[in-house]
Every structure is written in C-alpha cells, then in structure tokens.
Amino acid sequence: MRVHVLGSAAGGGFPQWNCNCPNCAAYRQGSPYHLARTQSSITVSADDSNWVLFNASPEILQQIRSFPALQPARQLRDTAIRAIFLMDAQIDHTTGLYMLREHRQPLELWCHALVRDDLVRGNPVLKVLEHYCGIHWHSVPLDQRNFCIDGAPGLLFTALPLLSNAPPYSPHRDQPQPGDNVGVTITDAASGKQLFYAPGLGTMEPHVWAAMQAADCVLVDGTLWTDDEMIALGASQKTSRSMGHLPQSGPGGMLEWLNRLPTTTRKVLIHINNTNPILDATSPQRQELTRRGIEVAFDGMEITL
C-alpha cells in the first residue's frame, strides 16, 4: 500500500496566517530549516489508481494539485478519490468538503454518526453540500471489525474510538463520546502490512495501544511538544490535553509510548502545530526525535507498506 501525506500540520497550518511565534517568524524570514505545511490529510491506495482520502483539509485543492495521481484524467470530469474518511468533525479536517462540490455524483463519505451529526448541525457542511453533489454517507463501525470501502480494492479498514475532544460547535465539546474522534488501522490485504493513523489522540487507552503495537507504521498525533506550549507562548489558554492531544514530552507523553514500540515499527508524527519546536529541523527537540528513530511527517511524504 502507498500512503501519501497531503498535509502534515495541525489546525491553522504552518505558518499560521496571524501567528508570529518563533517558528512562523523564522519561516517568514526565509529559514531553510522550517518547511511550510498544509493542514493534515493523507491518502492511501493499494493499486496506485484508486485512493481513499482521510480528512478534507482547507488546503485540499492545493494538495490535489501537488499530487497528480489523484487526477488520472480519464474523462472530462474525473478523480481518483473513491471515498473520503473523516476522523473527526473539526474545521481542519472537513472544510475541504466544500471544495469537492463539483463532483458528478454524491461524495462517498465515511464517518461516525456523531461526526455526521456535528456536520449537519453545528457546522452544517453536509447540509450545504445537498445543494451541490450531495453525499452518500457510510457509518464507520467501531466494533473492531474489518470493513472494505467500495472502489478501494486491496485495503481493509478497522476504526476505533479515541479519547480526544469534539469541536467547539459540537454539543459534546469537553465531554467526548466514543465516535467523536476515531483512529484507523489500514491493512494491505496482499501483504498484511498495517498502518495505524490517529492525528488526534488525547489518551492512550488499552485498545489504542494494542492497535499501535500491531501496526508496521504508526502515523500519530504530533500536535504539541509540551502540554502548556500554547500558554507559555501566550498564544492560547488551552493545554494540549484539554484540546485532546497527548503532548510529546513529559511523563506519559507520546515519546514514552513510541519508545516502547518495537524498533522495527516505523514511527511518524503528523498534525503538527505551528508552535511545536520539532518544526525547526535544528532544534534540540527535533534532534531528540531523530535519536529515538521518530520521523516528522512533511507534505508530500510517501510511506510504502
């Protein structure tokens, strides 16, 4: 299976339009050590011609342009995106749906019922799309069972609930319910190789840890380095954990967990916030990742499993 990272940043992207934190400022000053990143999305295929899109980022048009495999040009109006899978209902993962409105048939949309509810009520993008292509909704099962996605041959999917946070426009903000956020294991049916993808992971629950241990590659939440990173910068009052993102450093942080995985597991951080020091390729934090064998996803990164 081929995994293509379309976007590797958290909400806001990098640099963020209104931000002058050390990373955003360094980027604008032309630093060669800071790569611009669009908001998080990946696409996966087992046959190089049919792709499942995970999340629809606000930069989706730019992301599609930068990855020609998504436009095979077999007819006047065409796409290789066979289905869209949403991990949550957040703005950074759903705004791109508006940009796909010219589709010639309803979009094949996979998400949990709670995500669908938020996208019909709090942020009614799915209602708006009814005036354009419409959507054909598929409910994502959370019972650990494998499922297939029509049009994506050779791939098997398993979704699992993650404790993270629901968007501010959700009735479950700060009271997350199973299904508000999901992680997914994608298995290549031919090779049996597995990718575990979870861009928003707030708490390491036993079923999540089991899925990570079973995977050949984990592509997981890399939002913030420290729990109080945004507070220390004066950028926000929110901690990483309150936003539903496990910080990387410190006790119980993501690095400790990744350290316990076999050395053969490929470990990649994604959904990286613009304030995170790991975006500076020369930072001590980035060097610590390198020492630990942990990669930082970048736009255009390819993972073959």
Least distance between Zn ion and beta carbon 239 (Å): 17
Cα dihedral sign, 121-126-132-138: negative
Q: Which of residues 92-151 bind Mn ion (CB under 5 A)?
A: 92
Residue 190 CB partners (closer than 8 Å, separation 6+): 46, 154
Q: CB under 8 Å to 43, separation ≥6 — which residues?
A: 3, 4, 6, 51, 52, 53, 54, 67, 70, 81
Amino acid at 71: Q
Decide if residue 243 touches ligand MLT (CB under 6 A). Answer: yes
> Which CB atom, from 11 or from 58, has the smaller least distance to Mn ion?
11
Residue 11 in the binding site for Mn ion (CB under 5 A): yes
Nearer to Mn ion, 12 or 253 (CB): 12
For residues 186-225, which are near ligand MLT according to CB under 6 A?
200
Q: List the x/- string, 87-126, binding to ligand MLT by CB under 6 A.
A: ---xxx----------------------------------
The closest of 8, 6, 16 to 274, measured between CA atoms, is 16
Classified as helix, coil or strand, 43 is strand
19 contributes a contact to Zn ion by CB under 5 A: yes
Closer by beta carbon to Mn ion, 188 or else 299: 299
C-alpha–C-alpha distance, residues 231 and 234, integer Å? 5
The residue ranges that bind Mn ion (CB under 5 A) are 11, 90, 92
Residues of the shown chain interacting with ligand MLT in the complex, contacts defined by CB under 6 A: 10-11, 90-92, 200, 243
